[in-house]
Structure 1
């Protein structure tokens, strides 16, 4: 692989294929999903799909409508590190147990906090781990996705929603504002006017409205939500993990840079694929009229 390709993809490849972890910065050569399992209190983690190549994280505080307490988000962050280090995993699904995806941040945990504490501790700083994942993350929103729950869904790459899902940023009703990306990601997705309406009134929108506004990719009957999300994950996982990570990074830049800068980054990423075995295999297989056998290299 050329120096240009290494410069373009080394970081994501390292995270995605198990050489480094943001949590510790040390080698994680053989960390696997089961390592965190016994110690998890607020989430569950499973492998799904025919090839067991889909990581499923389920927020598991059903009595609290999966309210996002700090300990839960720490478990999500650490589990994401493990899933990204597990090179058998090609995609990750995030969902909630019971009748909610996540009905918001844990208000009981926040109500007695003061400015000095949340400022000094940089409260919510580690909540965006999913937004920086190199592997694709699919949100399967099965009910309420409000406040921090809506923000968490927007950190994912693709959102599938059940017909009963509800989205909203109701923080204004509590005398505060979104603090984990609600004012920023929502505006970029649905536009200024609709984002203002949701943020300034705390209104909730249906899954159908969310799809119409571009917040959701697909609305699905509740009993088919997880199977459809797994099917999508399997389709992505069947492709080159290296190319998928690069494509995801290129799309991400569309929200963070100017068009000209984004086009430049895309072109360089495209050029970099010509230093990979998977690009050669994919094109050769196409010409030979056979299925490609990617090696993620």
Structure 2
């Protein structure tokens, strides 16, 4: 059986590009893709790199595989097949960039919501039509979307089935930029390169602190800063800054 993903290492081995590749099903997320993405997460947890998620054939992911979803029952829902994966992706040590073209619907939208950054193309259509199928978006949309776009728009998407265009998603800051389809992956790489120019340990710790519960601050900030204050990169990078300032 062919893989549901295509993996490419970026330049310098600090970026991994993962292409969702089920073109016959518009990259619908099935159990095989979930299992393969778990393997990707295990790799990135062991060897942290920035992850770029993208689709194939002009589609990010049209949703969960409906034929498979149709047969799932209570115990499958309680197992959190997609939600467990998306939580793992959101918790990866280094940032995740979702490069969104065409449809990002249902589970595809929820996968995008789990990323740290989302870029789109003019033909992007993103939303959660699950209630029209008699279910709810149970893999993160009911709480991540409110945090991303605010309660009124989140309710319109979740309860009334509104699908956002690229321009609407940009206005809501659900995506941060719109690029031509042929430029989308390059833009994702440029963002990954900017991340790569930062100190990797500082990026990892900042991401962890950012997602810490509100009542964990400011203690967690101080402890994280204490770790970074002792890192060699802090001394080297600050010395380089001072050296450049003296010669400018």
TM-score between the two structures when normalised by the length of structure 1? 0.77
- Distance of aligned partners of 1:289 and 1:214 in 2 relative to their CA distance in 1, 3 Å threshold: same
- Tell me the equivalent position of 2:85: 127
Q: What is the CA distance between 1:54 and its match in structure 2?
A: 1.4
- Is 1:257 aligned with 2:218? no
**What RMSD, in angstroms, separates the aligned Cα atoms of the two structures?**
1.8
1:94 aligns to what SS in structure 2? Answer: strand
- Distance of aligned partners of 1:113 and 1:217 in 2 relative to their CA distance in 1, 3 Å threshold: same
For 2:219 and 2:163, the matched residues in 1 are separated by 38
* 2:118/2:176 contact within 8 Å kept: yes
Q: What is the CA distance between 1:40 and its match in structure 2?
A: 6.5
Alignment of 1:150-189 (within 5 A): 150-189=109-148
For 1:269 and 1:220, the matched residues in 2 are separated by 36
- Is 1:76 aligned with 2:37? yes
Q: What is the CA distance between 1:266 and its match in structure 2?
A: 2.2
Unaligned runs of 5+ in 2: none
For 1:285 and 1:131, the matched residues in 2 are separated by 33
Aligned residues: 244
2:60 aligns to what SS in structure 1? Answer: strand
- Tell me the equivalent position of 2:242: 287
1:156 aligns to what SS in structure 2? Answer: coil
For 1:62 and 1:111, the matched residues in 2 are separated by 20
- Is 1:46 aligned with 2:8? yes
- Tell me the equivalent position of 1:105: 64
For 2:96 and 2:46, the matched residues in 1 are separated by 14
Q: What is the CA distance between 1:59 and its match in structure 2?
A: 0.3
TM-score between the two structures when normalised by the length of structure 2? 0.92
- Distance of aligned partners of 1:121 and 1:252 in 2 relative to their CA distance in 1, 3 Å threshold: closer
- Is 1:91 aligned with 2:50? yes
Unaligned runs of 5+ in 1: 1-38, 291-297
